């Protein structure tokens, strides 16, 4: 069995990783190689297998088959050692709401056995890093959603992990707090921390250095965001109409249409050739739907994901 050397530039590697629950395949023969210092995004909707993948990689859950290594350590035989080298923030991170910000951080410092002499400097730095210094004596239960997420991140970082696992960390967080959270992640990236983040927000995928699009336990695509957006290989046209919702099924019925996505009063239509735009407009006109304008665009990550899923 292959072993990744600690000198290797690989932070995470999986080989045919699989997890089955009864008849349901949650993770289906996953093969990944993530370099040290990457901000890697596992992107997909609820039920795609993102959380299960993360729980297997953090040695919380055993795989059904296959193998993986994190920081050169096997998830099958060195799970406890892996936990010393990683930080893990689950969707419902275990903050104690009746403890203050400072008390929560100290609790996790005890949990990770951080040496007493190193704590003051680390805690001061993490409080400043997350802008929580003014709130260090506030009960965690009285923090906003965004501040709770930043406290959870501070607790996950107290032992200075090599690899940081974040399971949908900005789910339900307001846009300003999401932006602040990602700023903190970029700062961590500069310090050489490898970050593995899962998200259902496809717009967040563009913030990662590399992403995997995941659907029903399988990887659909694995590349940097710019390359994935260029991968469609056929024209993407944006159309806008006051009756955009009613237009979707009609457009899907036009030969040569690959996929249709709805964004308010706008439609993103992947077509096999640009000349099909006239056919689409004509079909819509027959149904009394007026297209107010259209233009060719670069597809978004969401457009690519929908196209891949519909293509399957």
> Do 74 and 98 have their domain in common?
yes
pLDDT at site 4 = 39
Mapped onto helix, strand or coil, the DSSP state of residue 309 is helix
pLDDT at site 311 = 66
pLDDT at site 312 = 64
Task: State the residue for tokens 């237009």.
Answer: 247
With respect to residue 258, please indicate whether it lies within any of the assigned structural domains: yes
With respect to residue 178, please indicate whether it lies within any of the assigned structural domains: yes
| Listed residues 229, 260, 293: the one ending a domain | 229
> Do 72 and 218 have their domain in common?
yes
What secondary structure, in 3-state letters, does 136-192 show?
Answer: CCCEHHHCCHHHHHHHHHHHHHCCCCCEEEEECCCCCCCHHHHHHHHHHHHHHHHCC
Spatial contact of 158 and 125, defined as CB atoms under 8 Å apart: no
> Do 182 and 307 have their domain in common?
no
| Listed residues 213, 229, 245: the one ending a domain | 229
> Do 295 and 273 have their domain in common?
yes
> Do 269 and 140 have their domain in common?
no
With respect to residue 53, please indicate whether it lies within any of the assigned structural domains: yes
> Do 157 and 279 have their domain in common?
no
Reading the block at residue 277, the tokens are: 């735009």
> Do 93 and 196 have their domain in common?
yes
| Listed residues 179, 208, 229: the one ending a domain | 229
Spatial contact of 67 and 76, defined as CB atoms under 8 Å apart: yes
> Do 155 and 297 have their domain in common?
no
With respect to residue 3, please indicate whether it lies within any of the assigned structural domains: no
State the Cα–Cα distance between residues 146 and 229, nearest whole angstrom: 30
Number of domains making up the chain:
2
List, edge to edge, every strand of the sheet that includes 236-240.
257-263, 266-271, 236-240, 293-297
Please, what are the averages of pLDDT over each run of 10 residues along the chain (312 residues)? 53 97 96 96 93 96 97 95 93 87 95 92 91 94 91 92 94 84 90 94 89 94 92 90 94 92 93 92 94 92 84 65
CATH number for the domain that contains residue 267:
3.30.70.100
> Do 160 and 254 have their domain in common?
no
Torsion of CA 59, 62, 67, 70, to 10 degrees: 0
Give residue 301's domain range.
236-311
With respect to residue 145, please indicate whether it lies within any of the assigned structural domains: yes
> Do 134 and 240 have their domain in common?
no
| Model confidence, pTM | 0.85
> Do 256 and 176 have their domain in common?
no
With respect to residue 2, please indicate whether it lies within any of the assigned structural domains: no
> Do 163 and 277 have their domain in common?
no
pLDDT at site 6 = 44
State the Cα–Cα distance between residues 199 and 179, nearest whole angstrom: 14
With respect to residue 1, please indicate whether it lies within any of the assigned structural domains: no
With respect to residue 5, please indicate whether it lies within any of the assigned structural domains: no
């Amino acid at each position: 069995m292959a072993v990744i050397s600690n000198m290797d530039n690989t932070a995470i590697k999986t080989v045919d990783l699989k997890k089955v629950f009864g008849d349901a395949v949650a993770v289906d023969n996953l093969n990944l190689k993530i370099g040290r210092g990457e901000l890697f995004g596992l992107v997909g909707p609820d039920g795609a297998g993102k959380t299960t993948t993360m729980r297997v990689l953090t040695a919380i859950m055993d795989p059904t088959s296959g193998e993986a290594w994190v920081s050169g350590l096997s998830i099958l035989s060195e799970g406890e050692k892996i936990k010393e080298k990683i930080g893990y923030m689950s969707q419902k991170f275990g903050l104690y709401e009746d403890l203050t910000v400072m008390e929560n951080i100290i609790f996790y410092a005890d949990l990770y056995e951080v040496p007493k002499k190193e704590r003051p400097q680390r805690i001061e730095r993490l409080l400043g890093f997350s802008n929580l210094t003014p709130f260090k004596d506030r009960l965690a239960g009285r923090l906003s959603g965004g501040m709770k997420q930043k406290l959870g991140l501070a607790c996950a970082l107290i032992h200075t992990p090599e690899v940081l696992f974040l399971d949908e960390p900005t789910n339900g967080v307001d846009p300003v707090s999401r932006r602040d959270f990602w700023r903190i992640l970029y700062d961590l990236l500069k310090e050489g921390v490898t970050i593995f983040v899962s998200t259902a927000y496809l717009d967040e995928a563009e913030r990662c250095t590399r992403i995997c699009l995941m659907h029903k336990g399988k990887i659909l695509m694995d590349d940097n965001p710019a390359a994935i957006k260029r991968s469609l290989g056929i024209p993407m046209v944006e159309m806008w109409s006051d009756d955009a919702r009613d237009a979707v099924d009609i457009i899907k019925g036009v030969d040569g249409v690959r996929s249709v996505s709805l964004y308010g009063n706008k439609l993103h239509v992947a077509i096999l050739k640009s000349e099909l735009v006239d056919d689409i407009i004509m079909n819509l006109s027959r149904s009394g739907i007026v297209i107010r304008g259209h233009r060719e665009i670069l597809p978004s990550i969401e457009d690519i994901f929908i196209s891949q899923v519909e293509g399957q």
